[in-house]
Structure 1
């Protein structure tokens, strides 16, 4: 068996472990496969077997990535994928030592996530109200309301079924990262949007969130919808579905929500991940003070 096939075998074995034992999501598996396949291709081009990957080889690969214009954040993610893979190889005694043991991520400037204002959110709904295509307008309203109102990830949104909604208790059952289930409160406004969508939804539809042709929504579709509407309603540069999740978390903290409660709603594993939004709230507070206080 040649080197590339051996590398592919180890990669597939590792992905099977992530899927079966660690219950990684489909998106996580796709990301790991993409990152690690790129590394195996690099080794193949250099004529190096996977087992001969040294610290120097990894550093040269990083240098190669940086030289091709890959940003530091993407390089850090690729290194994270490689660390997991090489820990697995070391655990399986395929390699004698982990070449990434002493390699650190490139230093990144911490950027606070951008958020949309409530005025922009209302503008989006007004734009949709002007549409002649009532079904698509209601679908897009519900997409925005669930991404913002329930602070969902785009993958969580796309996997929703009507059975996830507990209307009596006003709760939404969501399967998040690592197939972990959490329950999110549904607000009155989101419930109203949900009912308006059901009113225009075809009784013959086999999918819950789908376009007029009955095709279920998917991440790229949601990204296009969000980008178009944010572009037409606000000046923020971050025109992605995750911006609505960022906005939801920031607005909750702005209005006095408990950090632990926000952590549970977002489905974060670690509180430190949620804490980034406290920095956003503080920065917004500083800007308000500076622009409005006579002594600032």
Structure 2
């Protein structure tokens, strides 16, 4: 089944999980065991949210967790992939959770599926994010470094970085913005080419909107289907190459590291802008479900990952659990 077919059959928003007494008896045992092991409260709460998804699936099958067969576990992970649109990383978290759950409750029926999965390397691929987030202060330092450079394209490059920060867009999404996607009266852009295949609308500040208006007047090609960020070397209206954006950003970051403005041990990349924007919005009190929509995430858990503040994450998990 391809992505388009999947979207026709299943809603992108996962079905809500209702708490039941049957779930509670397992959750209680699991929580007591984890607390006895001195596991952090935030980790336990996170695990319980996922555990309820699994227990609700067991109820769908009208089976107890200790009655499930290897094939039933296969069904569960297909359910996570197809109906809940879980990423590889999230599925790995469920796999690790079930290993702990079945070990703590001393049930043996998960063991066969675990061995088979390890042999077939089902849960060994991780969507690792090898970068650090940045705050507004660091972002402005990078922006200033680009503006003060000797590059002929520094205005375009700095504007692109500014758009990336304010919108939280992925690099490819910003580079693919065309004239027809712009509503410059409102400072809005329609993002079409997205990772999740779903269009969304993003906004920029009034100041950035004015700069965009002035900048795009200088483009050689300004038809509806032309990109707003054009390659100024080829003069053919083609979009800026992604590698160029990375190189410009990296050069600015390296200069700031040399000057001691950014710690040398930190890995700051273009995607750090997106990560930093998510954290900034959450810090300012924007609801996490709104941040999820702004960033174009499929899963709320992905948005939670973008928040590195332990205090905020714990508070959010407490609030989410109250709603379950």
* TM-score normalised by structure 2 residue count: 0.51
Q: 3-state DSSP class of the match of 1:237? A: coil
**Aligned twin of 2:276:** 247
Pick closer, same or farther for the CA change 1:238–1:193 going to 2, 3 Å. farther
Secondary structure, aligned partner of 2:309: helix
> Aligned partners of 1:112 and 1:216: how far apart in 2?
27
Please provide the CA RMSD for this pair: 3.6
Query: Which ranges in structure 1 are unaligned for 5 or more consecutive residues?
Result: 1-16, 24-75, 81-98, 287-296
Residues 60-114 of structure 1: per-residue CA shift (max 9 Å, x gap): xxxxxxxxxxxxxxxx78x99xxxxxxxxxxxxxxxxxx8696442497997962
Residues 154/22 of structure 1: CA separation in 2 closer, same or farther (3 Å cut): farther
Q: Equivalent of 1:154, from 133, 153, 171?
A: 171
How far 1:227 moved relative to its partner?
1.6
Moved more, 151-160 or 226-235: 226-235
CA distance in 2, matches of 1:247, 1:130: 23
Structure 1 segment 82-93 matched on structure 2, within 5 A? none
Distance 1:153 1:111 in 2: 14
Q: Distance in 2 between matches of 1:210 and 1:110?
A: 31
Mapped pair 1:143 → 2:171 = no
- Measure, in 1, the Cα distance between the counterparts of 2:218 and 2:155: 8
Compare the two structures and name the one with the higher helix fraction.
Answer: 1
Distance 1:142 1:174 in 2: 17
- Aligned counterpart, 2:229: 209
Question: Structure 1 CA distance, aligned partners of 2:128 and 2:230?
Answer: 37
1:264 to 279, 286, 293: 293
| More moved, 188-197 vs 257-266 | 188-197
CA contact (8 A) 1:173 1:181 kept: yes
**Once the 2 structures are TM-superposed, how far is the Cα of residue 224 of structure 1 from its aligned partner?**
1.5
Contact 2:219 2:230 in 1 (8 A): no
Q: Match of 1:269, SS?
A: coil
List structure 1 segments (4+ residues) > 3 angstroms apart after TM superposition: 17-23, 99-104, 106-113, 131-134, 199-207, 282-286
Deviation per CA, 1:25-66, whole angstroms, max 9, x where unpaired?
xxxxxxxxxxxxxxxxxxxxxxxxxxxxxxxxxxxxxxxxxx
The 1:109/1:264 distance shift into structure 2, 3 A limit, reads closer
Structure 2: gaps (5+ residues): 8-87, 93-115, 257-261, 315-324
Q: Does 1:184 align with 2:202?
A: yes
Offset, 1:277: 2.7
- Residue 203 of structure 1: CA displacement? 5.7
Equivalent residues of 1:254, 1:281 under 8 A apart: no
2:155 is equivalent to residue 127 of structure 1: no
Give the structure 1 partner of residue 252 of structure 2.
Answer: 229
Q: Structure 1 residues 112, 282: closer, same or farther in 2, change over 3 A?
A: farther
Q: How much does 1:19 deviate?
A: 7.1
Q: Which residue of 1 aligns with 2:69?
A: none
Q: 1:165 aligns with which of 182, 195, 220?
A: 182
Scaled by the length of structure 1, the TM-score of the pair is 0.56
User: How far apart are 1:194 and its partner, in Å?
Assistant: 1.5
